[in-house]
Each structure stands twice: as structure tokens, then as C-alpha cells.
Amino acid sequence: MATAERQTAAEGIRLTPVRRRALEILLESHRAMGACEVLERLSQDGFGNQPPVAYRALDFLVEHGLAHRIQRLNAYAACHAPGQPHAPVFLICRGCDKVAETGTDSLRGALDDLARASDFTIERMAVEALGLCPACRAAEDAS
Amino acid sequence: MATAERQTAAEGIRLTPVRRRALEILLESHRAMGACEVLERLSQDGFGNQPPVAYRALDFLVEHGLAHRIQRLNAYAACHAPGQPHAPVFLICRGCDKVAETGTDSLRGALDDLARASDFTIERMAVEALGLCPACRAAEDAS
DNA sequence: CATTGACTTGTTATTCTATAACATAAATAA
DNA sequence: TTATTTATGTTATAGAATAACAAGTCAATG
């Protein structure tokens, strides 16, 4: 959160009350949340209760690298390493729906090579893996 | 298409008329298509004209590796290398919406390493990169 | 201070995407 | 044949996202 404040201040963009609260909500939950879920929380705190309120705040966060959008789940999650450029990898558990964010330099390297080879300019990317986290795998093996 | 027939026959699954036609439609278009777009074509060919008709056929194709789902576009595209296991990478041009499917072994290696390190069982994954294809970049630079 | 212009928020309405649930029909197995 | 599974068609509904407009806020300039 402090990082987010520093970053927005440095870039001269405005972390307004709704946006700030939306980020806090994502950070507090420690998981990916749907826009409607975020909206519900926002409206409880006195902000508007129509979809655009949530979508605009979330879009802003994604736009400025403070949050990620998990396409597969139609959900959003706070970025755990804002500021520094990275090729985030999301490990999505189909058992409990938890999302872990990781990433490696070797992956980034492989992607950069690929972009060079195909002459494609990559501006933004996401790697989403669906599977089972250790806990859910254990549960499934047991049954 | 011939590959698809061989594969379904080998696996003992049924490539029924709707499914077959859906795959043909994807193959003919050489691009990613929305479910509704596919539905329209299917209904023109005498199949049902309600959403589930398209979604079921497309889900089947994705399930069996004959097509991919491009999350970012809410669209589907035929797989260009069905059968063999791969970590497909989609290069999505934000200018013309064309989608190129590539992939490298080094990428797959990096992802496998990641999965091992986090003890996460990856069952399925997709890498989607958004950016500009050579043609659209040239057009943008010119303006 | 007043006013301009850019940005932000709230609201209404609508569009697009996807699935649940059920009835019917076809294919496979016993 | 009969039973069982699998697939299709249809109705209805749920879920996700955006367009368009009105109103408010804010900083900067004259």
C-alpha cells in the first residue's frame, strides 16, 4: 500500500479514495476477486453501487500495474511486486480458486526471445496456469 | 482436419457433425472467433441457433486439444498442432486482433521448473501476450 | 477571484458472454 | 430389445462489461 502511494505520487497520477479503497480490498483479501464482489465492498463504504464504479477503479489499478487481471476467472488481484517490470505467472488452483503469483527471469527471457524471433512487439503479457495446489492435490488423492 | 479425425478416432471420442463443423469454421477463418460468431455460422448450416450449441461444441474442441480459448478476447481458435503436448503462446495484436500461435521448448522448460519449485500441479496453461504485429507497428509508427 | 479545461464520479440503460435446467433424440452396451 | 450413456435443441436466466450522459472536483491560468 505504501509502495502504491509512493509510485502514484512519483508518476503524478491520482490515487483517489475509490481507487485506494479498491486496492485495499484486494490486498486485504489475499485472493482474486470478481468485480461485483469488489463493488459490493465499495458500496458498503459509501461509494456508488453500480458496475462502472468498480470496473473503473480496477481498470485504473491494472493500467498502472498495481493489480492484475486474471482472465480465466474474470477476477482481479493485487500485484505483489508493483513497480518493477515482471512477467507474472498465475498459478490458479481449480480446487480452491486461490491464485499464487510467481515469475522467473528465465521465463521472461524465453518470452523475450520469442518476441524477437516473431518480430512482435509485446506490451503486456500474462501466463495463467490451471491446476492443483499442494493442499487440493492431497485432498483429491485421498478420495 | 484429417489430424483431428485421426485423433478423435484413436481416443474413441465422437467428432459429431456440429463439432466437426465448428472446427472447420475455426480452421477456415484463420483467426480467433467469438462464440456468437461461430454460432451464427453453425445455425446457417442447419444446426441450432441458441448459445449452448456453440459453447458445447467449442468446449469439446478445447477439452480435447483441438482448439484453444483466447481468454483475453473471449474467443476461440483452432489449434495448429493438435495432439502433441505444447505450451502455446498467443501473440495477440491489439491493432488488427489477429492471433499468432507459437511456442518454444525453452518456455515450456521454464514453466515446468516453476511448477516444480512451487509444488503446484499444472494441468493446463496459456500464455497470452498483447502487443503489435509488425504490420500494425509500422502503421502506428507512420502516424 | 473567476473561469477554463481535464479528470473523476455517479447513474441509467444496454450489450455481450456464458450457463443452468429440462426435454428429446441418437448411439452404445447389456 | 431394453437399459444406459451421450449428445442435441430449447427456454430462460445469470454474470461480466461497457456506452453514454450528467454532475461534481481539482488544478492552473488569466
Per-residue pLDDT of chain A in tens (143 residues, 90 and over written 9): 889 999 999 988 999 999 999 999 999 998 999 999 999 999 999 999 999 999 999 999 999 999 999 999 999 999 998 888 778 999 999 888 889 999 888 888 888 898 899 999 998 888 999 999 999 999 888 76
A56's CB contacts (< 8 A; 6+ apart) are A18
Residue from the list B109, B114, B130 with its beta carbon closest to the beta carbon of A102: B114
**A61 closest CA partner among A100, A25, A19:** A19
pLDDT at res. B143: 66
Which of A72, A73, A120 should one mutate to test binding to chain B, selecting the residue with the greatest count of B CBs within 10 A?
A: A120
Reply yes or no on whether the pLDDT at B35 is more than 90: yes
Q: Enumerate the β-bridge partners of residue A63.
A: none
Q: Tell me the average pLDDT across B98-107.
A: 88
Helix, strand or coil, per DSSP, at residue A122? strand
> Which chain A residues touch B132 with a CB distance below 8 Å?
120-121, 123
pLDDT at res. A143: 66
The nucleotide lying nearest B58 (C-alpha to C1') is C18
With bands split at pLDDT 50, 70 and 90, how would you rate the model's confidence at B104? confident
> Which chain B residues touch A91 with a CB distance below 8 Å?
115, 118, 120, 122
**Look-up: residue for cell 501476450?**
B129
Average pLDDT, chain B: 92
* Phi and psi at residue A81, to the nearest 5°: -145, 65
Q: What percent of chain B has pLDDT over 70?
A: 99
> Which chain B residues touch A129 with a CB distance below 8 Å?
111, 115, 120, 122, 124-125
pLDDT at res. A44: 95
Domains and CATH numbers, chain A: 1-80 (1.10.10.10), 85-143 (3.30.1490.190)
Binary contact (A91, B133; C-beta < 8 A): no
What is the tens place of the pLDDT at every residue in A36-76?
999 999 999 999 999 999 999 999 999 999 999 999 999 99
How far is B47 from B9, CA to CA, in rounded Å?
23
Q: Tell me the average pLDDT across B42-61.
A: 97
How far is B62 from A42, CA to CA, in rounded Å?
37
Reply yes or no on whether the pLDDT at B51 is more than 80: yes
What is the tens place of the pLDDT at every residue in B112-131?
898 899 999 998 888 999 99
The nucleotide lying nearest A51 (C-alpha to C1') is D17
Helix, strand or coil, per DSSP, at residue A94? coil
**Look-up: residue for cell 456508488?**
A48
* Contact assessment for residue B64 and residue B122, using Cβ atoms and an 8 Å cutoff: no
Q: Which amino acid is at B40?
A: E
Helices (H), chain B: 2-11, 17-29, 35-44, 51-63, 105-118, 134-142
Task: Give yes or no for A9 touching B (CB within 8 A).
Answer: no
Q: Enumerate the β-bridge partners of residue B77.
A: B68
* Contact assessment for residue B76 and residue B33, using Cβ atoms and an 8 Å cutoff: yes
CA nearest B140 in A: which residue?
Answer: A121
Q: At A3, which helix (H) or strand (E)?
A: helix A2-11
Distance from CA of A44 to the nearest CA of B (A): 30
pLDDT at res. A16: 96
A15's CB contacts (< 8 A; 6+ apart) are A4, A5, A8, A23
